[in-house]
Amino acid sequence: MKKNPLKVIFIFLLIVLTFYILFIKTEKFKSDTNIIIKDLSQSQSVSILSSMFLGKTSSTMQDSEILKLYITSEDMFNKLNKEYNLTAYYSSSKIDFAQRLSSSAIIPYFQTTKENLLNCYQKDLYIQYDNLTSTLNISFLNANANTAKAIVKSIIYYSKIILNKYEKENAKVALQSILEQTKENKLLFTKSIKKLIMYQNKHHTIDPKIDVKSKSTILASLESKLIEKRVEYKSKLEYLNKNSAEMRLLLDTIHQMKKSIYNIRGEITGDNKNELNKKVSDFEILKNEVEFNKKRYIQALIKLEETKVSVKQNAKNLIIITKPTLAQTYSEPNKIKDIISLWIILGFLYGIISLIITLIKEHKD
């Protein structure tokens, strides 16, 4: 009976790869954790539904995506590599020959380069954001269960640091801008106060409106007393000589009161009928300028204090929902699933190649 070489090759591949999966491929243990990011500086008003249906990105989702980029980055790998010597791990006998890196490897894919080390690290790392719960799931695979758990803990630790580092750096930049704005607002406020004081000194007044009000009160009182004095004078004329000392004193008082009323009216209305309105208008403009600059300065001071607090405090809080787990059994490889997948793929390839060879033979005949 003639042997089919193609079938022999595929059977050989099937046996070798099955043996590799069962006995050689590195068994890795998985440690995972669930975290959530809370922004303590502001209320997260964007709901999950609105972010899904209206296309809006919530603060938690954005922070989670930024954190995901950092965890998968070379910066995070370098920190973990320094702590756990991942370079030695990925090129050690703990990793099977088909996945192991080596400095003497001929094929670039298996050489111990930064790119290949980062690629191995990213393959062992799993990060997924859950829109429904706004949580971030972080998992890591390692040949040692305790090491996998320790690496996940370190990822959380470094993530907490970097999460608030970005916020504090932004706050420091904003702080410099607000400091300059506060100085500028203070200068404007001081200048407006000086202008108001100069106006008051020049016109010998605290407030034209107050002056007019007080003088109007005095004027009303004088006019009332003038009427009383006139009535008194006319009454006394009936029985006293108008040239008597009392009558002359009373008449002089009336004349003085008239003069005072005339002078006060002149001070109120001014020499020009528009002078009073101009004084009041100029004073109101200066006073409103002082009030406006005062409010701007106060707002700048409030913003300055808020920014100073944000520089010092940790606005973003990383909350651990579930602690990093310690696996009792390996998670990868899934040997049964991998072997079944292998048989299906090899069987499919064998069928296609056999069909192609048969078609070629028939075509030749």
Asked if residue 225 and residue 164 are part of one domain, the reply reads no
- Of 157, 163, 165, which is closest to residue 324 (Cα–Cα)? 157
Q: Token digits for 252?
A: 């002089």
- Of 259, 326, 238, which is closest to residue 29 (Cα–Cα)? 326
Asked if residue 339 and residue 251 are part of one domain, the reply reads no
Asked if residue 159 and residue 73 are part of one domain, the reply reads yes
* pLDDT value at residue 168: 73
The span from the CA of 225 to the CA of 231, in Å, is 10
From residue 160, alpha-carbon distances to 218, 219, 239, 312, 314 in Å are 73, 75, 104, 15, 9
Asked if residue 242 and residue 189 are part of one domain, the reply reads yes
The sheet carrying 125-130 orders its strands as: 125-130, 135-142, 29-39, 316-322
Q: Is the pLDDT of residue 81 over 90?
A: yes
Q: Token digits for 334?
A: 């899934």
Look at 200 and 137; give whichever has higher pLDDT.
137
Q: How many structural domains compose the chain?
A: 3
- Of 61, 60, 66, 303, which is closest to residue 171 (Cα–Cα)? 303
Q: Is there a cis peptide before residue 208, judged by omega within 30 degrees of 0?
A: no
33-72 tens-digit pLDDT: 999 988 766 544 444 444 433 344 467 888 888 899 999 9
* pLDDT value at residue 43: 47
Q: Which residue in this structure is represented by tokens 């300028």?
A: 289
Asked if residue 182 and residue 140 are part of one domain, the reply reads no
289-330 tens-digit pLDDT: 888 988 998 998 888 887 777 666 666 788 999 999 999 999
336-361 tens-digit pLDDT: 999 999 999 999 998 999 888 888 87
Asked if residue 149 and residue 230 are part of one domain, the reply reads no
Average pLDDT over residues 229-248: 80
Asked if residue 232 and residue 119 are part of one domain, the reply reads no
Asked if residue 101 and residue 46 are part of one domain, the reply reads yes
Q: Is the pLDDT of residue 97 over 60?
A: yes
Asked if residue 180 and residue 227 are part of one domain, the reply reads yes
pTM, to two decimals: 0.64
Query: CA torsion angle for 321, 323, 326, 329 (degrees, to 10)?
Result: 0
Asked if residue 158 and residue 56 are part of one domain, the reply reads yes
Asked if residue 318 and residue 170 are part of one domain, the reply reads yes
Asked if residue 353 and residue 305 are part of one domain, the reply reads no
The span from the CA of 23 to the CA of 95, in Å, is 13
What is the span of the domain harbouring residue 15? 1-25+333-365
Look at 254 and 277; give whichever has higher pLDDT.
254
Poorest-pLDDT segment among 84-98, 152-166, 207-221, 236-250: 207-221
CATH code assigned at 151: 3.30.1890
Q: E strands, 89-196, where? A: 125-130, 135-142
Q: Token digits for 203?
A: 């016109």
